[in-house]
Amino acid sequence: MTKPYVIELEPEVRAWLANLSPQHYRRAEEKTDLLARSPTTLGEPHDRRVALALTRAALSERLGMPPGDVETIELGGMPPLTADLLVRLATALDVTVDLHVVSGGHNTVVFEERAA
Per-residue pLDDT band at 88 (split at 50, 70, 90):
confident
Amino acid, res. 64? G
Q: Are 105 and 63 in contact, with CB atoms under 8 Å apart?
A: no
Q: Is the pLDDT of residue 4 over 70?
A: no
Query: pTM above the 0.85 mark?
Result: no
pLDDT for the residue 34 = 64
Query: How does pLDDT run across 35-62, given as a tens digit for each residue?
Result: 566 544 445 677 788 888 888 899 999 9
Per-residue pLDDT band at 3 (split at 50, 70, 90):
low
